[in-house]
Amino acid sequence: MSAFGRLACVSELRRLGVFVRDRTDLHIHVDEHSARLPHRSGVAKTHRRQLMRHPHPRAMTVEVLDAVIDAVRCQDPRSAVASIDSALNMGIMHADDLEDLFAALPRRYRRLRALLDARAESGPETLVRLMLRSLGWAHEVQVPIAGVGRVDFLVDGWLIVECDSREHHSSPEAQREDRRRDLAAARAGFVTLRLLAEDIMWRPEAVLDGLRGLRYRGRKRG
């Protein structure tokens, strides 16, 4: 272990490729009985709780479960659900770990367990799923549609909602494929709404307004 502690919380999850909303802060873990360390430039938060799973003495990072435990407490509830979904989808945390996760968290976090879905392939997908759930709309996740392919969400059987990230949808080839999928969906009678990941994360009210408006007009046409 480094004299300054182990990489932990959102910092360790970010290093592993797990979704976290915060991309800047550095979080480390130090032994709960160690003397208080002098402030280190760039360290946003120091975690001192007893670890659930003990890493190798020379390890520079905490174990995944402990990183997730702290990340849940350091993020807003929706982002916390997205981080857990991401870790489950990547296979670096398993369903069996959830008992230990929620046992280590205060009781108020237990309600989050019912919101988890390991099928989410990105953090923004989880955030949109939670939006749709909060609106009380009937929706399906990761739905295969003949001639179109698998879509992120199908709402009310007619509205396709796709969550586009810069990593997977920014190349010219990807954008052409997306447009062809949208055209195929239109031929089959579906309407497609493509949402940018940055809007999902940082402009959620605008996304909610767009969803409400499109669904309202769709119902009026029906």
* pLDDT tens column, 57-81: 899 999 999 999 999 999 999 999 9
Axis crossing angle, helix 123-135 with helix 204-221, rounded to the nearest 10? 50
Mean pLDDT of 102-106: 97
Same domain, 98 and 142: no
Does the residue 163 lie in any domain? yes
- Of 60, 88, 115, the position where a domain reaches its end is 115
Q: 143 and 109, same structural domain?
A: no
Position 165 scores a pLDDT of: 74
One domain, residues 99 and 37? yes
Lowest mean pLDDT among 3-7, 101-105, 177-181: 3-7
Q: How far apart are CA 139 and CA 155, in angstroms?
A: 4
Per-residue pLDDT tens over the stretch 125-154:
999 999 999 999 999 999 999 999 999 999
Same-domain pairing of 85 and 140: no
Q: Report if residue 38 sits inside a domain.
A: yes
Instruction: Kindly tell me if the per-residue pLDDT of 18 is higher than 80.
Output: yes
The answer to whether residue 1 sits within a structural domain is: no
Q: Residue holding tokens 């949402």?
A: 195
Residues 73 and 157 grouped into a single domain: no
Would 200 be classed as within a structural domain? yes
- Would you say 145 and 185 are in contact if contact means Cβ atoms under 8 Å apart? yes
N- to C-terminal Cα separation, the chain = 63
Of 115, 134, 163, at which residue does a domain stop? 115
Q: What range does the domain containing 158 cover?
A: 123-221
Is 77 in the same domain as 143? Answer: no
34 and 108 inside one domain: yes
Residues 154 and 214 in one domain: yes
The answer to whether residues 53 and 145 belong to one domain is no
Q: What is the CATH number of the domain that holds 141?
A: 3.40.960.10
Quick one: 73 and 141 in the same domain?
A: no
Q: Mark whether 128 and 217 lie in a shared domain.
A: yes
The mean per-residue pLDDT over the stretch 74-94 comes to: 97
The domain boundary, picked from 91, 115, 139, lies at: 115
Residues 173, 144 share a domain: yes
Domain count, the chain: 2
- Residue 169 has a pLDDT of 52
Do 63 and 53 meet the contact criterion of CB atoms below 8 Å apart? Answer: yes
pLDDT at 29: 93
Q: Is residue 12 part of a domain?
A: yes
Task: Tell me the chain's radius of gyration from C-alpha atoms.
Answer: 20
Sign of CA dihedral 76, 69, 104, 49: negative
